[in-house]
Amino acid sequence: MRISILTLFPEMFDGFMNTSIIKKARLKELVQMEAVDIREFTDDRHRRVDEYPFGGGQGMIMKCQPVLDCVDSLRTENSRVLLMGPTGRRFDQAMAHELVQEQHLILLCGHYEGLDARIREFVDDEVSIGDYVLTGGEIAAMVISDAVTRLVDGVITEQSHLDESFENGLLEYPQYTRPADYKGHRVPEVLLSGHHEKIRQFRLKESLRLTLRVRPDLLKNRVWTLEEQRLMEEVLQEENVLPDEKTVE
Ligand code: 6GU
C-alpha cells in the first residue's frame, strides 16, 4: 500500500510518520508513505498557492494549478484521489476497510478558507472525519492513513482486530492489568479465574453494556445472536432500563 499526502505543511507529518506503529509499518515496507509539498508545484514567480476569491469575500482560496499539477505528478491508473474536507462523505471503520484494498491513496489536504471548487472535478471522493471543522485537512489525512495502515496485513496481529471497537458493531470490552487491586479498585474476579469460556461471555456482556451506555445508536440495526440477546436482557435488568426505553428490539 502506498499513501501520498499532498499538503502545504509536510513538516506536520514528521512526527506522525516516524513514531510507533506507522514507523514500524514503513520500515517493514508494508506501507510506503510520503508527504508531498504542494508549493513545490506552483508556476507562480512568487510561489503563491492561493488567491482572493472571485466575487469577493473572506479569506484566500487554493489555486487549481499547483494542487492539480501535484496530483497529476503522482496519480497512476491505480490511484484513488481523496480530498480531505468537512463537506465530504463521513469516514468510518467500514471505509477504512474499503480503502485498504486500494494500491495507492492520494490524500489531498485543503487549507485556508477553501479551495477552488473545480478541484473537486478532478478527485474521486471528498472525505470528512466528523461533524466539526478543522483548520486544514492534515489531521484528517493522519486519521485516515493511521486507520488504514493498521489494517494492512502484517502491521498488527490478527486477533487484535476481531475484538476491537466497531469491528463487531460493538465497543470493545474493558481490559485490566496488574495489580488486581489498585487502591481498593478491584479487577473483576472472573478475569482472574482462568475460565476461558466464562471470560469470553463476561467480555461480550461488558461490550454490550458499554455500547448501550455510550453508543446506543450502534445497537439500532444490529442482527443479534441468541447469546447476545440473553446477555443483553441481563444487562438491561442490571442497568434498570425500562422496557419502553429499549432501543434494542
Ligand atoms: Cl477532512 N477537513 C477539515 N478542514 N475539517 C474537517 C474535516 C476535514 N473532517 C472534519 N472536519
Residue with C-alpha cell 471470560?
199
Q: Round to whole Å and give the CA distance between 224 and 145.
A: 32
**Average model confidence (pLDDT) for the chain?**
95
Atom of ligand 1 minimally distant from the CA of 111? 4
- 247 Cα–ligand 1 center, Å: 31
Per residue in 224-246, pLDDT (tens digit) is 999 999 999 999 999 988 666 65
- 129 Cα–ligand 1 center, Å: 6
Residue pair 86/139 in contact by the 8 Å Cβ criterion: no
Residue pair 109/7 in contact by the 8 Å Cβ criterion: yes
- Name the closest-CA residue to atom 6, ligand 1: 86
- pTM higher than 0.85, yes or no? yes
- Residue 97, C-alpha cell as written in the block: 476497510
- Residue 108, C-alpha cell as written in the block: 489531498
Residue 203: in which H helix or E strand, if any? Answer: helix 196-214
Q: Round to whole Å and give the CA distance between 10 and 18.
A: 13
What is the rounded average pLDDT of the residues 20-39? 98
CA 131-133-138 angle, to 5 degrees, is 110
Residue pair 48/42 in contact by the 8 Å Cβ criterion: yes
Tell me the best of 8, 83, 84, 127 to mutate to test the pocket of ligand 1, counting ligand atoms within 8 Å of each CB and taking the most.
84
Pocket of ligand 1 (CB under 6 A): 84-86, 128-130, 132-134, 136-137, 140
- 90 Cα–ligand 1 center, Å: 10
Per residue in 41-97, pLDDT (tens digit) is 999 999 999 999 999 999 999 999 999 999 999 999 999 999 999 999 999 999 999
Side-chain-side CA neighbours of residue 78 (13 Å): 9
- 205 Cα–ligand 1 center, Å: 35
Radius of gyration (Cα) for the chain, nearest Å?
23
Please name the amino acid found at residue 249.
E
Q: Round to whole Å and give the CA distance between 236 and 248.
A: 10
- 141 Cα–ligand 1 center, Å: 9
